Every structure is written in C-alpha cells, then in structure tokens.
Amino acid sequence: MQILDTSAFINEYHTDEDTASVPQVHEELEGEHAFRFDAEEGAGMHIHIPSEETVEKINRAATETGDADELSETDIILIAAAFELDGTLVTDDYAMQNVADRLNVAVNVIAQEGITEQREWQFQCQGCGRTYDDNLDRCRICGSDLARKNPS
C-alpha cells in the first residue's frame, strides 16, 4: 500500500497499487489538488488515522534523528500511518524520508532524488560554536540560539 503525502497530489502521482492518506493532507490541499484527493478517496483510497501511541513513537524517532523541528503534524501523522499500515510512504520531503528510514518504513520519491543516507543531526550554538546532540532552546554555555547542522 502506498501512503500519499501532499506532494503526491500536487505532482499528480499515479500508481496501480492500493493507496492511503490521512485527513490532514486534504486540509493542506486547495483547488484542483483537493479535488484529486477527493477523486482518489472516491476511487477507494483508504483514509487512515494512526493511534496516538504510534504518533508518539514517530515523534520520538524524529527527535532522535534531529528532524522534529522540520516536520509538521501532518508529516508525523503520515509517517505513523505508513508505519502502522506497513506501507510505502510517497513523499519528496527529506526530513520525512530520514525519519521513515530510521523506522524501516519504505519510501518512494516523486520529483526529487531520495536520501542516500540516514542522518542524525547535531545542533550548533550560533554564539560560541558548541555542539549538542539535542535541540535545546538555547546554548547551555552562552545562551545563544542553536542551528541544525550535519555532523559529518
């Protein structure tokens, strides 16, 4: 089963496999893109609402990879749906792909190249340069803001 992200509807993604999505995707779509969602649902697309426990598991994984601040609620719910349905997530979003990879959720990309490796981000202080594994509100040393950076 293919779990369709907003970008699947915007880019007119087609598949012969069974499809699913979440209500939040419909809320993000406008105009003809929302019509495509409605048409897919009318053609048998499954609308899935994942459990709170699974959503929390996805939030924990996103925090572990450092992608939590990059993901919307819709993104988290889509990954949770793909996890619960043992489906393939269809998205171009790199942060979603990174978290999905962490959870062994298969991903199909649409218009972009997919990720080539899983990343666990670090966070660097914009003032003193200290790095942290966790995304804190402020640097513990000088109080400056942190920015996400690739550890390699």
36 and 57 assigned to the same domain = yes
75 and 147 assigned to the same domain = no
pLDDT of amino acid 119? 60
What burial letters (b/e) apply to 42-65, b meaning 16+ CB within 10 Å? Answer: eeebeebebeeebbebbbebbeeb
83 and 52 assigned to the same domain = yes
What does pTM read for this prediction? 0.74
Per-residue pLDDT for 115 more than 70?
Answer: no
Is 114 within the bounds of a domain?
no
Residue 94, C-beta contacts closer than 8 angstroms, at least 6 positions apart: 112, 115
104 and 125 assigned to the same domain = no
User: pLDDT: is 127 or 106 the higher one?
Assistant: 106
- Note the pLDDT tens digit of each residue in 24-49: 999 999 988 999 999 999 999 999 99
